[in-house]
């Protein structure tokens, strides 16, 4: 079910927010690198203790509980 949405985000180059139901955590603003064989590869960055860290995770599609993407963004004036 989520494989199609993740594949569309990969093709469009849009970041996604993914909830991993087995770990009860969100991966925010991730780039979908690859979707194949029941596994999705996500690349994202975190800022912990003032240190920027880059991560790449391979996640089973069965673990994905929700996928969100930003529709639009406008600066406040």
Considering its fold, how many domains does the chain have in total? 1
The parent domain of residue 56 ranges over: 2-69
- pTM of the prediction? 0.86
17-63 residue pLDDT tens: 999 999 999 999 999 999 999 999 999 999 988 899 999 999 999 99
**Position 63 in a domain:** yes
Are 57 and 41 contacting, i.e. CB atoms less than 8 angstroms apart? yes
**Position 76 in a domain:** no
Q: Name the 3-class secondary structure at 72.
A: coil
Closest CA to 20 of 49, 72, 55: 55
Are 65 and 4 contacting, i.e. CB atoms less than 8 angstroms apart? no
Are 61 and 39 contacting, i.e. CB atoms less than 8 angstroms apart? yes
What's the CA gap between 5 and 3, in Å, rounded?
Answer: 6
Check residue 36 and give its pLDDT: 93
**Position 28 in a domain:** yes
**Position 15 in a domain:** yes
**Position 74 in a domain:** no
Check residue 19 and give its pLDDT: 97
**Position 21 in a domain:** yes
Domain of 19, CATH number, reads 2.30.30.100
């Amino acid at each position: 079910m989520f494989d199609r949405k993740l594949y569309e985000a990969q093709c469009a180059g849009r970041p996604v927010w993914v909830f991993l139901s087995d770990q009860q955590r969100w991966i925010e603003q991730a780039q979908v690198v690859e979707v194949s064989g029941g596994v999705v590869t996500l690349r994202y960055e975190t800022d912990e203790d003032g240190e920027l860290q880059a991560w790449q995770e391979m996640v089973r599609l069965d673990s994905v509980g929700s996928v969100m993407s930003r529709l639009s963004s406008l600066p406040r004036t």
